[in-house]
Amino acid sequence: MNWNDKTILVTGGTGSFGRKFVATMLEQFKPKKVIIFSRDELKQHEMRTSGFDHPSLRYFIGDVRDAERLRRAMNGVDIVVHAAALKQVVACEYNPLEAVKTNIDGAKNIIDAAIDAKVQKVLALSTDKAVSPVNLYGATKLVAEKLFVQANAYTGGDTPKFACVRYGNVVGSRGSVVPVFLEQRKTGRVTVTDKRMTRFWITLEQGVKLVTDGIEQMHGGEIFVPKITSMNIMDLVRIVAPDCKVDEVGIRPGEKLHEALLSDEEATHTLDAGDKYVVMPVQASWTNNAWTKAKPVDVEFRYVSNLEGNWMTDEELRSMVRSYETP
């Protein structure tokens, strides 16, 4: 795929992923134009003044809830990366209708605008919390996944093609537990919800690569799931704050003890593609038979964060922590 002649729209472009994705585009792929679409003018200003002022960049103020603004922003766009979302679990529980408006209605608006603008490809970011969801955030992202996968039925295999990527907690994103622990260790005491808790972890670089690979490889309807390591929360505490006391405060509402990237039910239509799993659409009225070299996973396969043999090493944990610590 030749990126040089592409115009790319990134919703949520001022977020942690968006900034890393844009930086990677400018450094490695050099597309014709990158449109940063977000609703916060201050974040756009801060992004521009922090070095993101390349001639190929465009900053659009807008909200994915606003269908007309999306249609205007997608004029002449070839590829859409949809990263905008309300993603704080507690905030979504307290403001459920707002989460629906952004995460579900916003997905619908992306799909409609992309079809009307004759975009080539749309790749949406999802989360492990969409698998067997127990909170509203996960439920809205599950619905969004379904919308993007089945949007291919509207185009019948023609453009635009729609697909998703699904991954776990991002090292370096806002709200990560690592900076919280680094701050708490100054007091000699850290808090964890449950000492048994495990989570999948992925770096921003890995997330961006999953997206760029997905854009290049997608044929419509796939959910790309990376093969990544997971971590026990107490292993992280041992690396970050080995001399601190640990307060166990109890699991929060809407929180899982362990996360899943693939459920039992999805195993029947999931392929092993080497460095990733590919969840194929269950009901595809369009043609998608391009993954002939990938192998089906076992019908009882589950991809969960407490899977034996999938743990981050101490050195990987230390490397993750070092990326936060100031020199």
CA distance 19 to 64: 18
pLDDT of the residue at 172 = 63
Catalytic residues: 129
Inter-residue contact 275 to 233 (CB < 8 Å): no
CA distance 119 to 73: 11
In a domain, 316, yes or no: no
In a domain, 146, yes or no: yes
CATH number, domain containing residue 29: 3.40.50.720
In a domain, 78, yes or no: yes
Enclosing domain of residue 138: 7-169+204-227+261-303
In a domain, 23, yes or no: yes
Per-residue pLDDT of the chain in tens (327 residues, 90 and over written 9): 999 999 999 999 999 999 999 999 999 999 999 999 999 999 999 999 999 999 999 999 999 999 999 999 999 999 999 999 999 998 999 999 999 999 999 999 999 999 999 999 999 999 999 999 999 999 999 999 999 999 999 998 899 999 999 998 887 666 678 888 988 999 999 999 999 999 998 989 999 999 999 999 999 999 999 999 999 999 999 999 999 999 999 998 888 999 999 998 999 999 999 999 999 998 888 876 789 999 999 999 999 999 878 899 999 888 878 876 643
In a domain, 198, yes or no: no
Residue recorded with tokens 């292993």:
235
pLDDT of the residue at 223 = 98
In a domain, 180, yes or no: no
In a domain, 130, yes or no: yes
H-only helix segments in the chain: 16-24, 41-49, 67-73, 89-94, 96-100, 106-117, 136-150, 152-155, 177-184, 204-217, 233-240, 314-322
CA distance 64 to 13: 12
In a domain, 256, yes or no: no
Burial class of 218 by CB neighbour count within 10 A (0 to 12, 13 to 18, 19+): buried
The total of structural domains in the chain comes to: 1
